[in-house]
Structure 1
Amino acid sequence: MNNLKTLKYVLVAALMVGFTSCDSLLDDVEPSTSVSAEVVLTSEEGVDALRASMYSKIRENFGFTTEYFIGPSAFADETRNRPGSTRYQALTVATGTSGGTAHLNNWGLYEIIQDANLIIGAVEPSVFEDPATLDLYRGEALALRAFAMHTMVRVYGYEPGNFSVGPQANWNAGIVIRTEPVLDLSDADTRARSTVGEVYTQILNDLSDAKTLLAGENADNRYVTEAFVDALSA
Structure 2
Amino acid sequence: MKEIIKISAFLQVLAVMGCTDLETTPRQSLTPEQALNNVFGYQAVANSMYNRAASFGYYGQTMMIAPEILADNLRLVANTGRYQGEEANGDRDHIDLWNGNVYGGINDANLIIDGIDDESVSGDEDLKSIIKGDAYFMRALFYFDLCRVYGYEPGKEVDGFNLGPILRLTPTLIASDADFRSRSTVGEVYQQIESDLQNAIALLPPVPIGSEGVYLANTGAAITLLARLYLYWGRMADAEAAATAAMNLLGLRSNGDGLVPSGQYVQSFSRAPHPESIFEIELRQVDWSSVDGVNNSLNSLTSNNDPAAQFIIGASNELMATYEDGDVRRDCWMETTREGIDGPVYASRKWTGYKGDFLENLPIIRAAELYLIRAEARYQTNPAGARADINALRSRRGLGAVDDLLSGQPLFNRIMLERRKEFALEGHRFFDLKRNGMNITKHSDFLEVPYTDYRVLSNIPLSQVQLNENLVQNPGY
Normalization by structure 1: what TM-score? 0.74
Of 62, 65, 71 in structure 2, the residue corresponding to residue 67 of structure 1 is 62
2:72 equivalent in structure 1: 77
Percent of aligned positions that are identical:
33
1:134 equivalent in structure 2: 128
Does 1:200 find its partner at 2:175?
Answer: no
Per mean C-alpha deviation after superposition, the further-off stretch among 109-118 and 37-46 is 37-46
The 1:90/1:231 distance shift into structure 2, 3 A limit, reads farther
Q: What are the ranges of 5 or more consecutive residues in structure 2 without an aligned counterpart?
A: 1-26, 229-477
Structure whose alpha-carbon radius of gyration is higher: 1
Instruction: Count matched residues.
Output: 196
Distance 1:36 1:223 in 2: 22
Q: Which has the higher helix share?
A: 1
The residue identity in structure 1 corresponding to 2:97 is L
The residue identity in structure 2 corresponding to 1:145 is R
Of 152, 158, 168 in structure 1, the residue corresponding to residue 146 of structure 2 is 152
Distance 1:84 1:142 in 2: 41
Q: Secondary structure at the match of 1:80?
A: strand
Paired residues for 1:5-24 under 5 Å: none
Q: 1:73 deviation in Å?
A: 2.4
Q: Is the 8 A contact 1:174 1:196 kept in 2?
A: yes
The residue identity in structure 1 corresponding to 2:111 is L
The residue identity in structure 2 corresponding to 1:76 is A
Q: 1:35 deviation in Å?
A: 2.0
Does 1:232 find its partner at 2:222?
Answer: no
Q: Is the 8 A contact 1:40 1:50 kept in 2?
A: no
Per mean C-alpha deviation after superposition, the further-off stretch among 133-142 and 118-127 is 118-127
Of 109, 117, 131 in structure 2, the residue corresponding to residue 116 of structure 1 is 109
Q: Is the 8 A contact 1:122 1:181 kept in 2?
A: no
Q: 1:97 deviation in Å?
A: 6.0
Residues 149-190 of structure 1: CA deviation (Å, up to 9, x unaligned): 111111221121112xxxx31211111111112344322222
Q: Which has the higher contact order (CA 8 A, sep 6+)?
A: 2
Q: Which has the higher strand share?
A: 2
RMSD, matched Cα: 2.3
Paired residues for 1:35-50 under 5 Å: 35-38=29-32, 39-50=34-45
The 1:62/1:183 distance shift into structure 2, 3 A limit, reads closer
Residues 45-87 of structure 1: CA deviation (Å, up to 9, x unaligned): 3222211111111223342222212333223311111144543
Distance 1:231 1:74 in 2: 25
Q: Is the 8 A contact 2:111 2:171 kept in 1?
A: yes
1:170 equivalent in structure 2: 160
Q: Is the 8 A contact 1:112 1:145 kept in 2?
A: yes
The 1:214/1:228 distance shift into structure 2, 3 A limit, reads same
Per mean C-alpha deviation after superposition, the further-off stretch among 186-195 and 132-141 is 186-195
Distance 1:169 1:213 in 2: 40
The residue identity in structure 2 corresponding to 1:58 is A
Q: Is the 8 A contact 2:38 2:123 kept in 1?
A: no
The residue identity in structure 1 corresponding to 2:168 is R
Q: Secondary structure at the match of 1:104?
A: coil
2:84 equivalent in structure 1: 89
The 1:169/1:137 distance shift into structure 2, 3 A limit, reads same
Per mean C-alpha deviation after superposition, the further-off stretch among 195-204 and 44-53 is 44-53
Residues 118-146 of structure 1: CA deviation (Å, up to 9, x unaligned): 11111235424321101101111111111
Distance 2:37 2:76 in 1: 50
